[in-house]
Structure formats: C-alpha cells, structure tokens
A and B are shown apart, each in its own frame.
Chain A
Amino acid sequence: NAGVTQTPKFRVLKTGQSMTLLCAQDMNHEYMYWYRQDPGMGLRLIHYSVGEGTTAKGEVPDGYNVSRLKKQNFLLGLESAAPSQTSVYFCASSYLVRSGELFFGEGSRLTVL
C-alpha cells in the first residue's frame, strides 16, 4: 500500500518551460489537494478536487492548472514556469474533507531558473 505518491521528486526548469506533477493515491480517497510550501509562508492550497472530474481553486491558483480524470490521480500543470513558482509542492488526499485524516505525499522540489 503506497499511500500518496508524487512524481517527480525533483525538477529544474527554465523560465517558460512547462511541466506536470503527478499525484497518485491508492486509498480510494475522494478528496485530493495540491499545496506549495515556501520559507516563511507555510503551506498554501493551490487547487483541490472533491471527486473525479471536479476541480476547484484554492488560495494561490494563478499560473497552475489541474486535472482529475481518474479518481486516483491528480495532476498539477505549469504551462509557462516562472521563478516565483520555485517551491516545494505537496499533494494530499483524504476520504472526507470535513472529517477525514489528511495523507501527504513526500513532496516535489521544483526550481525554476
């Protein structure tokens, strides 16, 4: 049982390049989240999904897109990376948003030059 798996773990991009981060969970969770964590800022929610085929904006959605075509996968895309998107990205999932424990992936460190 892998839990929540993020790929890739590390990536270096040049400004303007695009990339996709994949979050996969094997717990049949309905809710999935993408966060970014920056020094001194704490975790901030980028986008979230309350079920297959649905997505919603969080606190800092600009510059990111997401898709939840399959229940187990939540993809985070950067269409044109900017240095301000240098961060550590965490994915999480839960069975119920209002009463469910959060399960986090190990994080993905992205550097945009």
Chain B
Amino acid sequence: KNEVEQSPQNLTAQEGEFITINCSYSVGISALHWLQQHPGGGIVSLFMLSSGKKKHGRLIATINIQEKHSSLHITASHPRDSAVYICAVAKNNNDMRFGAGTRLTVKP
C-alpha cells in the first residue's frame, strides 16, 4: 500500500465548479505539500501545510493531522486550472513521499 493515496485519479469539471482533491497518508509527517504540474511538465509548489488551513486566491488547502488527511479545494474553477495536482509528505526523517497525482480537466 502506498504511503500517500490521492483521490480521485482523474477529475473532469465544468468551468465554475467547486473542486475537491483528497490526500490520505499513513506515515508520521512534519509537513504536507500540494504541487501543481502543468501539461508542459513544470512543477510548482502551491501550499506547504503542517496544520490547519491555507488560502491563496481561489485555492484552499486543509490538513487534519489526527486523521492523516488533507484536501485541496478550487473554487470557481477555470480551464487554466487544468493540470496534475500532487500531494507530497515530508516524513519525520526528512524523506519525502508522493501521491500518484490527480489529473484535473476543466472544460469551458
């Protein structure tokens, strides 16, 4: 079983819809990252969380340390949000593990 599980694997939405991507992990962590990978392959960091909730524009990330679960929400989705979203956890020994990614397609 992977240490980091993401769901769904693929997600198609209509422009304007509210989107949720989930990440569950099974190891002790010091931080959790949400990353975005665009079709061209480049990877950018969206959020780094160790507790609570963070918001950047239309993106919101939450984490529940007790339940070992994090969610990434996108409000008022737009076609430019189409990308692969990746959950990554920094383990307590500085090692990192990644989810397989969620491929999001937002249709106009």
Residues of chain A touching chain B, judged by Cβ–Cβ distance below 8 Å, are: 31, 33, 35, 40-45, 48, 50, 56, 58-59, 88, 90, 92, 97-104, 106-107
CB distance from B84 to the nearest CB of A (A): 9
Contact, CB under 8 Å: B86 / A42 = yes
In the A-B complex, the 4 residue pairs with the closest CB atoms: A98-B30, A42-B100, A104-B43, A43-B98
A-B contact pairs, 14 of them (CB 8 A): A43-B98, A45-B95, A48-B95, A97-B31, A97-B90, A97-B94, A98-B94, A99-B30, A99-B31, A99-B48, A101-B48, A102-B88, A104-B45, A107-B41
The reply to whether the CB of B33 lies closer than 8 angstroms to some CB of chain A is yes
Query: Provided the pairs A99-B50, A101-B48, A102-B33 are in contact, do residues A50 and B98 lie with their beta carbons within 8 angstroms?
Result: no
CA distance A31 to B30 in the complex (A): 15
B26-43 Cβ-contact flags toward A at 8 Å (1 or 0): 000011010100000111
Chain B residue at minimal CB-CB distance from A92: B43
CB distance from A48 to the nearest CB of B (A): 7
CA distance A50 to B45 in the complex (A): 19
The reply to whether the CB of B96 lies closer than 8 angstroms to some CB of chain A is yes
Query: Provided the pairs A97-B30, A97-B90, A102-B35 are in contact, do residues A42 and B45 lie with their beta carbons within 8 angstroms?
Result: no
* Chain A residues whose CB sits within 8 angstroms of the CB of B42 once the complex forms: 104, 106-107
CB distance from A4 to the nearest CB of B (A): 10
CB distance from A95 to the nearest CB of B (A): 11
Contact, CB under 8 Å: A48 / B94 = yes
* Chain A residues whose CB sits within 8 angstroms of the CB of B41 once the complex forms: 88, 106-107
* Chain B residues whose CB sits within 8 angstroms of the CB of A31 once the complex forms: 94
Contact, CB under 8 Å: B98 / A44 = yes
Chain B residue at minimal CB-CB distance from A100: B48
B80-108 Cβ-contact flags toward A at 8 Å (1 or 0): 00000010101000111111110000000
